[in-house]
Amino acid sequence: MINKLGIWINELIWGDMLRPYGWPGRVITGLLRNGYAVLRDITSGQLTLRAMSLVYTTLLSVVPLIAFSFSVLKGLGAHKQLESYLYTILEPLGDKGAEITDNVMRIVHGVNGSVLGGIGLGFFIFTAVSMVQKIEGSFNYVWYVTKPRSFAKRFTEYTLGLLVGPVVISVALGAIVSVGNESVVLWLSQNSIFGPIFSATSKLTPYLLVTGIFTFLYWYMPNTKVNFRSALVGGLAGGIMWATLGMVFAAFIANSARTQAIYASFAIAITTLIWLYLNWLILLIGSQIAFYFQNSAYLRLGRREPRLSNAMRERVALNIMFLVGKEFRNPVLGVNLDSLSRTLRIPSITLAPIAAGLESNGLLTSNEEEELLPGREMSRMPLSDILAVVRRDGETGSHRNPMWDDPIEGLCNALDEAVAATVAKLTLADLLDQSEA
C-alpha cells in the first residue's frame, strides 16, 4: 500500500497526470515540483545550517551595518526615514520588537568614529563586509557557484553596495511618502470608493519594499548571471512568505504567555533569534525558488552531482580547452563556467571539477573578471596533456602500486598506446587550426 502510494505521488509530481487539465494542471504541476524540490533541500540540512550561520553573523554585524548606513544618510539628512523603516522589520515581535529596535538605535547613535579609533573602526567595517560576504557565499551555494568573486571585485562591489544601498532605500521611502502627500492621492484616499483600495495599498507598501529588496539580492549577489525574471519570481515568493510569517509570528507572540513564563527574561532573546533565523531561511528559500525557475533541470536532480563516464569526461575536457582557445584567438564575450554550461548543456557543477583539474595542471587560468584563459602557449599544449587530466590525474586509491594480471596489463597498455597514437603530436593550436580551416 505504501509503495503504491509512493509510486502514485511520484507520477503525480513528475509524470503527466495533470497535463490533460490544461494550464491549471501545468501550474499545479510546477507548484508541486518546486515545493518538492524546496522541501527536499530544507530537509537535507544545508539551507538550515546556513540560515543559522547568518543569524550568528547578524548578531555581530547588525550594529556596524546600521551605524555605517546612518553615517552615510546623516550627510543627506535622510536617516530618520530609514530609522522608521527599521521598526517595521521587528514589528511581528510586538512591543518587544520596538524595545529591541530602541536599544539598537541607542547604540547606533552612540557610535562615534573618533572614539572608536582606527582598530575599532576597522572592526566595524570588517564585520559589515563579512556579513555581505556570508550572504554571497550562501547564494553561491544555492546557485551551484564554486568560485566566489575576486577580492578586488568583491571589495569594490561591497563598498558600493554599503554606500548606495541605504541611499536607495531612503529615496524609495521618501518617494512613497511624497506621493502620499499629493493632493490627488489625498482626495482619492478620502473617497468612499477608492479609499479602501488606497488603505490596503499603503499597508502592502512594506511588503512590496521587502519583495523589491529580495529581488535585487537574488539578481545581484550570486556570482553568476541571474535573469531578472527569475529573481522577480524568487522575490515575490520570498515577499509572500515573509508577510505570511510576520502575521503568524505576531499571533504567536501575542499568545506566548506560557513561553515567557518558562524562559522569563530570556524569552525575548529566544524569540528574536527564532525570528532572525526564519527570516534568513525565507531569504534562502526564495533564492532557491529563483534558481529552480531559471534551471528547471535541477528540480528532480537536486544537489546530486551527475556522474559522467570517462569517455564523457574526456570530451568535456577537450571541449573546454577548445572553446577557451577559440575565444582567446577571437575574443567576443569571454568564456566562464556559466557560458560553458550553456554551450555544452551540462550543469556547471559537473564542469567545475574538470575545469579545476585543468587549472591545477597549468592548462587553464583565469583573470580578474573570472574568465577562463589558456594557461600557456597553445602550440605547447599537447592534447595528450589535456586527456591525462581526466585519464590519470585525480586518483584517490589507497594502493600506489596495484598488481594487475598480465593479460589486463597488456590490454590496457595497448589501449593507452592507441590513444597516444591517435592524438600523436597534436596540440590545441593544431586542433584550432583544423577547425578554422
What are 212-240's pLDDT values in tens digits? 888 988 998 888 888 999 999 999 999 88
> Which range, 119-123, 320-324, 401-405, is most confident?
320-324
> Which range, 85-99, 122-136, 406-420, is most confident?
406-420
Query: 0.75 exceeded by the pTM?
Result: no
pLDDT over 90 at 182, yes or no: no
95-119 mean pLDDT = 61
pLDDT over 80 at 292, yes or no: yes
pLDDT over 70 at 93, yes or no: no
- E strand or H helix at 365, and its extent? strand 364-366
pLDDT, residue 282, reads 92
Degrees to nearest 5, angle at CA 330 with 324 and 335: 35
Q: Over pLDDT 90: what percentage of the chain?
A: 8
Identify the CATH number of the domain defined by range 310-395+403-436.
Answer: 1.10.10.10
Orientation of helix 267-294 relative to helix 195-220, angle to 10°: 70
Q: Measured between alpha carbons, how far is 302 from 114 in angstroms, rounded to an integer?
A: 50
Q: Annotate 321-353 with b (16+ C-beta within 10 A) or e (fewer).
A: bbbbbbbbeeeeeebbbbbbbeebebbbbbbbb
- In this structure, are residues 285 and 38 in contact, taking their beta carbons and an 8 Å threshold? yes
Compare 159 and 358 and report the one with higher pLDDT.
358
Tell me the residue length of the chain. Answer: 437
Question: Exposed (0-12), middle (13-18) or buried (19+): which is 83, by Cβ within 10 Å?
Answer: middle
Query: Residue 235 to residues 105, 176, 217, 238: CA-CA distances in angstroms?
Result: 28, 20, 9, 5
> Grid coordinates in use for 53?
550561520
Sign of the CA dihedral running 110, 116, 121, 123: negative
pLDDT, residue 397, reads 57
Q: How sure is the predictor about 284, in pLDDT bands with cuts at 50, 70 and 90?
A: very high
**Any idea what DSSP says for residue 347?**
-
Q: How sure is the predictor about 323, in pLDDT bands with cuts at 50, 70 and 90?
A: very high
Q: Which residues contact 91 (CB under 8 A, 6 or more apart)?
A: 97, 246, 250
